[in-house]
Amino acid sequence: MSDFRMPSMGADMESGKLVRWKIRPGDRVKRGQVVAAVETAKAVLDIEVFEDGTVRELLVEEGSEVPVGELLARIDGDEQTAGETAEAATAPRPRKAAPERAGPDDSHLPRKPAQPTRPGPGHESRPAASPAARRQARQRGLELSRLRGSGPNGAVLVRDLDQADDRTAAAPSQGFEPEAMRSAIATTMSRAKREIPHFYLSQQVDLNTAEQWLENWNHDRPPAERLLMAGLFIRATALALARFGELNGHYGPDGFRPSSDIHLGLAIHLRGGGLVAPAILHADRMSLGEITAAMQDLVQRARRGGLRGSEFNQGTATVTSLGERGVDRVIGVIQPPQVAMIGFGRPRPRPVAIDDALAVHATVDISLAADHRVCDGHVGARFLNDIDQRLQHPEGL
């Protein structure tokens, strides 16, 4: 049996609110499956489980505020026999006093409101829905069991999904309270500036070759297949981090631990104010097209909901860019426990010396904020040079 605990989704997180369980006792779960939604000061996040197994018991009610590390559920691992798993799923559990619950059969379930018991053998365990509605619900990330169907015998139809999307769009953004987010950001950044000995470097990079290559690539391609300059920035940074491990990883009580994985955080501004930095996982393994799609997906989910806890707590370095806001240079503050923040400004035409001549090329200012406990300016300069060289040869990205 394994313990499923409240994960930490950031250095500033001390607790989270369990908004919704997406599993029930007896359910089979797979590694990476979303099992709960948790609200933090910055967002409502989907939380995954990290091993296969069968849910034995849910220990926390929906709506409860839970400290980081607190036990949320017990899950039987696959190493147990089928008999043990079945016994665990059906064995009676001690009842808790719960006067607000309507019936005795569901008093052991830590849910608000009480949920019906799971159907027995011979009954349909899945909610009734048309095949098209079931397929589209998977694509939209909607739970059929939480929708009211308008079809025969209450079956969920496609039009019910559309109404659910309309209600979601009209409802206020769950988990985003500007004052709470600003407080959380201030706490994290104060800690970062107090505890991390920052040093800063910046470099101007000529984008003439990258711009021409990107224009040729996108020519005659449909919009869905076109690449973005920001994708080249992310890809070049990820590959450079793979080479300079001193800038990729976490600094904790035992010192610096470099990471063999490149999970590159992307600073995203939220509508109405606020900032989150979920990570593009394994960014160094992605093609430019995959990175462009991942960036767009993260931005959409950050603003409408649906980010995952792993995208919040596994970042190994972060990129921030305010170029779209007209800013020439951005100097970031490191997000603990990471040790590096890379900033990209606005690509814009500037005079550039080419041998003995002067030309006007698109350029961008790249900055690095790094942790002096881990590396120094020599490593930082080589890192920025590496990004520069990769952008001079975009065909290699």
pLDDT at 151 over 50: yes
- Listed range (7-21, 58-72, 145-159) with the worst mean pLDDT: 145-159
- pTM equals 0.68
- 385 shares a domain with 256: yes
Of 120, 142, 159, which residue constitutes the final position of a domain?
120
- 155 shares a domain with 135: yes
DSSP letter at 6 equals P
Please count the structural domains in the chain: 3
- 326 shares a domain with 256: yes
- 7 shares a domain with 106: yes
pLDDT at 306 over 80: yes
Percent of the chain at pLDDT > 70 equals: 79
- 367 shares a domain with 247: yes
**Domain harbouring 105, CATH code:** 2.40.50.100
Of 94, 120, 146, which residue constitutes the final position of a domain?
120
> What does 334-372 look like in DSSP terms, one character per residue?
--TT--EEEEE---EEEEEEETTEEEEEEEEEEEEEEET
Tens of pLDDT, residue by residue over 374-384, are 999 999 999 99
More confidently predicted of 358 and 138: 358
- 388 shares a domain with 360: yes
Domain that holds residue 275: 178-396
pLDDT at 169 over 90: no
pLDDT at 176: 54
Q: Per-residue pLDDT averaged across 311-337, rounded? A: 90
Burial 310-328 (b: 16+ CB within 10 A, else e): bbbbbbbbbbbbbbeeeee
**Domain harbouring 140, CATH code:** 4.10.320.10
- 311 shares a domain with 220: yes
pLDDT at 200 over 80: yes
Of 175, 196, 212, which residue constitutes the final position of a domain?
175
- 230 shares a domain with 148: no
pLDDT at 106: 42
- 284 shares a domain with 333: yes
- 108 shares a domain with 164: no
Tens of pLDDT, residue by residue over 252-304, are 999 999 999 999 999 998 876 778 899 999 999 999 999 999 999 999 888 87
pLDDT at 366 over 80: yes
Percent of the chain at pLDDT > 90 equals: 50
Burial 362-375 (b: 16+ CB within 10 A, else e): bbbbbbbbbbeebb
pLDDT at 360: 95
- Listed range (100-109, 236-245, 366-375) with the worst mean pLDDT: 100-109
- 204 shares a domain with 154: no
More confidently predicted of 8 and 273: 8
- 75 shares a domain with 195: no
